[in-house]
Structure 1
Amino acid sequence: MKKLYFLLCLLIPLIGNSQSVENVSKDAFAHTFSIVARDTVTGEMAVGVQSHWFSVGSLVSWGKAGVGVVATQSFVNPAYGPEGLEMMANGTSAEQALTQLIEKDGGRAFRQVAFLDANGNVSGYTGEKCVEAAEDLQGRNFSVQANMMLNDRVVPAMAEAFLRYSDYPLAERVVEVLKAAQEVGGDIRGKQSAALVVVGPERTENEWEEKKIDLRVDDHQNPIQELSRLLQVNRAYEHMNKGDLAVEDGDMEKALKEYGAAEKMFPENLEMKYWKAVALANSGRLEEAKPIFQKVFAEDENWKEMTTRLPASGILTVSEEELQEIIE
């Protein structure tokens, strides 16, 4: 907080009107690099961000399924997130929405913002008082932006990476963009936090369905590396969730396939091993399942106790005799 106050004291003499001082002095400090992007095949939209500031994802990244995504940074005005999304939801294009919000913002000289709407329209803005190196660059279905960077190679490197990894799923593609920014210098202060949000192409009435991916690394020595790891975990648990749904539907072959895919990604994960064993047992392949159960029980006996509770819920569909074979 002392650092922020000191920086604001330095900035105040440079600001032309008192309204800007009042506005900016109340705002969060999040100098960073980010990307907003859309996948032309799936229609998914994403925001990726990294900064040497705690919990950058709590203010910078915003998204709404079927509407768009927003990155608001530098001296952050969080209102650009919800207000921008509401405007785009009501049919205003990304460019028009951003222009209108900038025009009424007394602290716009210190803002850096990017909007992307569901039609792939993008718009970026970098205020004249953003700390060097500061720039934004737009391309087809994406905008990359950065401020307080070590050098002016960061933004071009991000744009190049987005084009280079065009065959990647959107979330992985965005992570590669963040990696590229860091590799050429990144934030002049270093690294601390990162975030990734992905929303779908269709609007939803259920709030819990808004974000397909919502990952945050609030404080870490290598936040982009950790974000990449979490994304892989997320992908594995997508398979786990599909496996659970297959179990509910009584489709044990599909469940086995999904649990097996998850286990391949994280072979030491007990959860993934265990549910693969359950799917095998439910498919009548008890002899294949038993050694997997035993490996899991050897690591943590609580899994054995849980196994005794599953038949009552219908999740494990074995006879009492077969259950005893499993837990012996």
Structure 2
Amino acid sequence: MKSILLSIFFISFLAQSQVYKKSEPFTHTYSIVALDETTGEMGVAVQSHWFSVGSLVIYGEAEVGVVATQSLVNPAYGPKGLALMKQGLKPQQALEVLLANDEGQAYRQVAMLNKEGLTATHTGKLCIEEAGHKRGKNYSVQANMMLKNTVVDAMARAFENYSGNLEDRLMAALKAAEREQGDIRGKQSAAILIVNAKATGNSWQDTKMELRVEDSDNPIEELERLVKVHKAYDFMNKGDVAMENGDSKTAEDMYLNAQQMFPENLEMQYWYAVNLLNNNDIDKALPILKSIFETNNNWRTLTSRLVRSKLLNVSPEVLKTVMEL
């Protein structure tokens, strides 16, 4: 009985202050919330003709769900919606609690998705046309103030038909919206957030990806570039962990994967070459390091410092050869 009363109090507390204010941001936009059925990852992505849309619209928590709150946006729907779902409410139940206590609900557009892939979506009757949403298995797409009424269908088709990981499918949906000319005002900012299926309690481990383009002439294009950079640096991070654990072969493989994505990136070239040295593949490492040193001699200076930190394990003779490149 006590737990039931606490839950009722908690829901009542969360539902407070859902009042429409004319000062609320004018974040008309299109977005998608989705679950990757294979990995359990949950993601939300958005684009708008508004500065820093990601800081207002998208929210997520590992092992709980994701939320997109837009139109005349009430950002409280994000944390409050997640809190309600974390308490065990289904997305539809959580959304109904918040809408029931929001005098501005006619202006809201909100989508919620939980760890089971269940969704709930609301498009208020006073959202600016073209406005609408579409839900499918493990996803919901929603848009308002679009130039045409074809945006949500295009986003849904793109997400359903694209094969790949979650971030690529989310990006496919955003690009499909833009091909339909998207926001009637144009484009300015975009963001993507992906959280893991299981929570560790450490935010830096529970969030797989969180990227924002705050202000750009081509935010979708820039966000897609950042997603690719993120993937490459994920390999770099795994390489760093392998180096820390003394597994230079795995480190070499990880750094090579990153380098193959961005062949001109000196950082990726450098750590790949360092691990070639650690794996006694000296002849392969030397020409790479020579090219790097000729581009920026600071990398040569850094190389000598790696020995003391035990990240470069070569003989004095090999180190001398490297330093004289």
Q: Same fold (TM over 0.5)?
A: yes
- The correspondence of residues 186-265 of structure 1 with structure 2, limited to 5 A, is 186-265=182-261
- The correspondence of residues 1-328 of structure 1 with structure 2, limited to 5 A, is 23-165=20-162, 167-328=163-324
Deviations along 1:102-152, whole A, 9 cap, x unmatched?
Answer: 110111011000000001110000011110000011111100000000010
TM-score after normalising by structure 2: 0.93
Distance 1:228 1:124 in 2: 26
Distance 2:205 2:272 in 1: 26
Instruction: List runs of 5+ in structure 2 lacking aligned partners.
Output: 1-16
Distance 1:171 1:287 in 2: 38
Alignment-mate amino acid for residue 93 of structure 1:
K
Distance 1:221 1:146 in 2: 20
Distance 1:317 1:131 in 2: 63
Instruction: List runs of 5+ in structure 1 lacking aligned partners.
Output: 1-18
The question of whether the paired residues in 2 share the 8 Å contact of 1:35 and 1:144 is answered with: yes
Residue 321 of structure 1: how far off its partner (Å):
2.1
Q: 2:8 is matched with which residue?
A: none
Q: 1:5 is matched with which residue?
A: none
The CA RMSD measured in Å over matched residues stands at 1.2
- Identity across matched positions, percent: 52
Deviations along 1:254-301, whole A, 9 cap, x unmatched?
Answer: 111111111110000000000000010000111211111111111111
Q: 3-state SS of the aligned residue for 1:59?
A: helix
Q: 1:8 is matched with which residue?
A: none
Deviations along 1:187-224, whole A, 9 cap, x unmatched?
Answer: 00111100000001112211222310000000111111
Residue 242 of structure 1: how far off its partner (Å):
1.1
Q: 1:14 is matched with which residue?
A: none
The question of whether the paired residues in 1 share the 8 Å contact of 2:123 and 2:131 is answered with: yes
Distance 2:307 2:289 in 1: 15
Deviations along 1:27-53, whole A, 9 cap, x unmatched?
Answer: 111000000000111000000100011
The question of whether the paired residues in 2 share the 8 Å contact of 1:66 and 1:201 is answered with: yes
Q: 3-state SS of the aligned residue for 2:201?
A: coil
Which segments of structure 1 move beyond 4 Å, counting only runs of 4 or more? none
Alignment-mate amino acid for residue 53 of structure 2:
V
Distance 1:132 1:204 in 2: 41
